[in-house]
Amino acid sequence: MIALSMRPCGDFRTTYKADTQIFETSTIRGVTIASIIALCFAPLVLDAYYLTLFIQISYLAIAALGLNILVGFTGQISLGHGAFFGFGAFASAWFTNTFAVPVWISIPLAGCFTMAVGMLFGLPAARIKGLYLAIATLAAQFIIEDFFARAEWFSGGAYGAAAESVSLFGHTFDSDESFFYVALFSLVFMYIWGSNLMRSRDGRAFVAVRDHYLSAEIMGINLTWYRLLSFGVSSFYAGIGGALYGHYLGFVSAEGFTLMMSVQFLAMIIIGGLGSVQGALLGTIFIVLLPEVLEGLVGMIAGSGLVEQGSLMESLSYFKEMAIGLVIILFLIFEPDGLAHRWKQIKAYWKYYPFAY
Amino acid sequence: MNTDLLLQLTVNGLIVGLLYGVIAMCFVLIYKSTQVVNFAQGEFLLIGAWICWSTLVWLKLPFFVGFLLTLGFMTLFGILIQAIFLRPMIGEPIISVIMVTIGLSMFFQALMKWIFGTAPASYPQVFETQTVSVLGMNIEMAYILSLIFSFIMMGGFYWFFRYSKMGLAMRATAFDQQVASSLGISVPKVFAASWAISAMVSATAGIVIGMVNGVSDSLSFIGIKVFPAVILGGLDSVIGGVVGGVIIGVLENLAEFVDSQYLHVGNLYTIAPFYVLLIILTIKPYGLFGTKDIERI
């Protein structure tokens, strides 16, 4: 929770403007813009496997940023983010199926709808905090999950709901190559928005609530409102991410949005760095790639003939779960500020090389 | 109105509720003395039940030997978990501590699934008779066993905290760590002891439930069901945990009754405690017996 205030040695700012810039230097800005432009050409070069990974990273990273705004920036805990993600997916499918809303409108609409639900479940947060809030959101997770299974009018019950592909100006984004652009645009848009939100009055209020809520309240910040708003913004991001997920897969079923998913989102922001916008992205990349790397490793061990091949590949899903659990623990013990902080330190080291200490 | 069913479900609720109460007690024990919210409580049940099962089925040991072995293992396990994973987290923000226990829970749940598989396994027959008749109702022997177990555990806890030296040390540590350590109480020892006791008692509860329903990874979900119980009773009250457990157990079964007789929505059984949890948190966040957090500026 101290990621913002912990700057590596020698890395200081002299003006407020420099402190609040999205990109610290013009080089970083240039590199970021160049890499986004380079990514636009990725579908021409990369095969479907990498595109799928990228799309997966984008919709998860959007939701992870939402959770980071709630947990990392406002200091509230949520164990129900996976359920909100699912709610966005179902809501968007519901809008398009029932009211024939075009998909590109239904995605933000689903975001707003999820925001309303998030604020409803955030209501207890006005009074409670810390671990009580964690348990309240845990209850929200189970209640929403139960709602998915029960509300056939909304989610199609046990059968799930079909979700149309995104289409705009007569063009349908139904292949990996074309959906890649939808994912990329949403990712960039939501991250710029998130970064800017954190530079606004509301963003500073979030940080103040996290750092010392009593002082924040004395300085005129309405605690109840900002806690609720933070829940709302976080659910909005989850809803957008979920809606993208639904329209990408073309089908939403209730099984996926379990407590396990909520924990994975938490793992992403802890590994990436609490209270850091780029941390949410780094953490998502880490968590998405971890099972892939693991699969490769297990495949290698199985291929070497040391152990029975079948049994090892069968247990792969357990290995993935174990690895995620272990990674959460290891990061919390050895690098509690996450990858973003480590990245900053590496940068600072080279910036002042050889004078850094 | 189906009175027989209602009565049967209420009795079931009481028995299950007492078991919840025992687990809630273990949860509160850890929270009170070490300020750690243990999301891995359910995994203690799971691991204990599987270890005992493996000593009985794989090693073919008699029940009491296997049981004692399990207790020994769980004591060690609890101490190691505390020393390796939770001790570095002292002084860290609450979300980090919660996340460590969630990580532990995920890890061990997957590990148990990997070693023992996902199919439920039943215990070998330990008792001769299956059911006994009490006041005209047929009650399963295993239920009687779990009832006896719950009362023994609760009595044991009462005696332990009231009269034993370690129990007194624990209460002192829960009250104020600095004062306790200046009076010569070894706080790390108290921490280790509370994790060991909690793991041991939870494992026993896991074995009892395993005897009734068979061992499967659904045991770890009980660790989550404990939350409504402890919140209802108050997070830092041992008695509150027991009362909350009983109330949640009965409520679950009453929800089942209402569901099966009138509403027919299905699955109200598992979800009702969480609605109750949300309601309690909005109107009385510190539970029935919990101490209110008073903040000073």
Q: Do B281 and A136 touch (CB under 8 A)?
A: yes
Distance from CA of B106 to the nearest CA of A (A): 5
Is pLDDT at B260 greater than 80 in this prediction? Answer: no
Cα separation, A206 vs A223, in Å, equals 9
Q: Tell me the CB-side half-sphere exposure of residue B16, using CA atoms within 13 A.
A: 22
Instruction: Look at residue B137 in the predicted model and tell me its pLDDT.
Output: 65
pLDDT, residue A234, reads 93
User: Residue A10: pLDDT band by 50, 70, 90 thresholds?
Assistant: low
Residue B162 has pLDDT above 80, yes or no: yes
Residue A16 lies in a domain: no
Which residue from A150, A259, A332 is facing B96, i.e. has the nearest CB? A332
Number of structural domains in chain A: 1
Q: How far apart are CA A176 and CA A48, in angstroms?
A: 7
B142's CB contacts (< 8 A; 6+ apart) are: B127, B208, B211, B212
In whole angstroms, give the CA distance from residue A310 to residue B279.
49
Domain assignment of residue A31, yes or no? no
In this structure, which amino acid lies at residue A141? Answer: Q
Check CB contact under 8 Å for A325 and B37.
no
Which of A319, A333, A337 is best to mutate for the B interface (most B CBs within 10 A)? A333
The Cβ-side half-sphere exposure at A160, using a 13 Å CA radius, reads 14
pLDDT category, A11, cuts 50, 70, 90? low
**A3 occurs within a structural domain:** no
B residues 207-236 closer than 8 Å to A (CB): 224, 227-228, 231, 235
Q: What is the pLDDT of residues A65-78, one digit of tens each?
A: 999 999 888 888 88
Measured distance CA(A268)–CA(B189) in Å, rounded? 34
What's the pLDDT tens digit per position in B203-235? 988 888 888 778 888 888 888 888 888 888 888
pLDDT bin (cut points 50, 70, 90) of residue A4 is very low
What is the distance between the alpha carbons of residues B150 and A154, in angstroms, rounded to a whole number?
A: 43
* Mean pLDDT across A94-119: 87
CA B153 – CA B205 distance, rounded (Å): 10
Provide the 3-class DSSP secondary structure of residue B131: strand
My answer on whether omega of the bond before B93 falls inside 30° of 0, hence cis, is: no
Kindly report, residue by residue over B80-126, the tens digit of the pLDDT.
Answer: 998 888 888 887 888 888 889 999 999 999 999 888 887 888 877 66
CB contact under 8 A, A136 and B277: yes
- Chain centre distance of CA B162: 21
Please indicate if any CB of chain B lies within 8 Å of the CB of A130: yes
Q: Is the pLDDT of residue A5 over 60?
A: no
Residue with tokens 């910036």: A351
Measured torsion, CA atoms of residues A195, A197, A200, A203, in degrees rounded to the nearest 10 = -100
CA dihedral A237, A239, A242, A248 (to 10 degrees): -90
pLDDT higher than threshold 70 for residue A213:
yes
Would you tell me which residues 107-146 of chain B have a C-beta closer than 8 angstroms to some C-beta of chain A?
A: 107-111, 113-114
Give CA separation, B6 vs B249, B254, B264, in Å.
14, 8, 16
CATH number at residue A57: 1.10.3470
Q: Please, are residues A252 and A161 in contact by the beta-carbon 8 Å criterion?
A: yes
Here the tokens at position A297 are 């490793």
The verdict on B64 touching A (C-beta cutoff 8 Å) is no
Average pLDDT over residues A166-177: 71
Q: Give me the pLDDT at residue A356, please.
A: 63
CB A271 within 8 Å of CB A217 = no
- Say what the pLDDT of residue A3 is: 42
In a domain, A25, yes or no: no
* A146 CB within 8 Å of a chain B CB: yes
Contact yes or no for A119/A113 (Cβ under 8 A): no
A266-297, pLDDT tens digit by residue? 999 999 888 888 889 999 999 999 888 888 88
Please state the rounded mean pLDDT for residues A315-325: 86
Contact B95 A71 (CB under 8 A): yes
User: What does each C-alpha distance from A13 to A4, A17, A24, A275, A343 come to in angstroms?
Assistant: 13, 9, 10, 19, 18
Using the beta-carbon criterion (under 8 Å), do B114 and A328 form an inter-chain contact?
no
A124 touches chain B (CB under 8 A): yes
Which of the residues B281, B286, B296 would you substitute to probe the A interface, choosing the one with the greatest number of A C-beta atoms within 10 Å?
A: B281
Query: CB distance B95–A263 less than 8 Å?
Result: no
- Residue B175's contacts (CB-CB under 8 Å, 6 or more residues apart) are none
Q: What are the distances in angstroms from CA A238 to CA A21, A242, A318, A340, B119? A: 26, 6, 26, 21, 34
On whether the CB atoms of residues A52 and A224 are closer than 8 A, the answer is no
Closest CA to B210 of B52, B18, B71, B74: B52
Band (pLDDT 50/70/90 cuts) for residue A84 is: very high
- Residue A250 φ/ψ, nearest 5 degrees: 80, 0
Given an 8 Å threshold on Cβ–Cβ distance, is B103 in contact with A328? yes
Residues of chain A with C-beta less than 8 angstroms from the C-beta of B105: 325
Q: Give the mutation candidate from B32, B108, B111, B114 for the A interface (greatest A CB count, under 10 A).
A: B114
Instruction: Report which listed range, A157-171, A199-213, A334-348, is most confident.
Output: A199-213
Q: Largest Cα–Cα distance in chain B?
A: 63
Whether B103 sits inside 8 A of A326 (CB atoms) is yes
Look at residues B209, B276, B288 and name the one whose alpha carbon lies nearest to residue B243: B288
CB of A3 less than 8 A from some CB of B: no
Residue contact A142–B271, C-beta within 8 A: yes
Please give the structure tokens belonging to residue B111. 């590990």
Q: How far is CA B217 from CA B39, B48, B213, in A?
A: 15, 12, 12
Residues B61-75 have pLDDT tens digits of 888 888 899 999 999
From B267's Cα to the closest Cα of chain A, the distance in A is: 8
How many CB pairs lie under 8 A apart between chains A and B?
Answer: 125
- Which residues constitute the domain of residue A283? 51-302+310-351
Q: For residues B107 and B3, which has the higher predicted lDDT (pLDDT)? A: B107
- pLDDT confidence band for A156 (50 / 70 / 90): confident
> Is residue A35 assigned to a domain?
no
- pLDDT bucket at A99, cuts 50 / 70 / 90: confident
DSSP assignment of A116-179, as one string? HHHHHHHGGGGT--HHHHHHHHHHHHHHHHHHHHH-HHHH-GGG-EE-PPEEETTEEE-SHHHH
Kindly report, residue by residue over A302-312, the tens digit of the pLDDT. 777 666 656 66
For B265, name the nearest residue in chain A, comparing CA atoms only: A150
Angle of helix A316-334 versus helix A277-303 axis, rounded to 10: 140
- Select from B99, B226, B264, B269 the residue whose CB has the most chain A CBs within 10 Å, as the one to mutate to test that interface: B99
**What pLDDT digit, counting tens, does each position of A23-81 carry?**
777 787 888 888 888 888 887 888 888 888 899 999 999 999 999 999 888 888 888 89
Arithmetic mean of pLDDT over chain A: 83
Instruction: Please give the residue of chain A at the shortest CA–CA distance from B117.
Output: A315
Percentage of chain B beyond pLDDT 90 is 11
Q: How many helices (H) and strands (E) does chain B have?
A: 11, 2
SS3 B288: coil
Half-sphere exposure of A273 (CA within 13 A, CB side): 21
According to DSSP, residue B85 is labeled: I
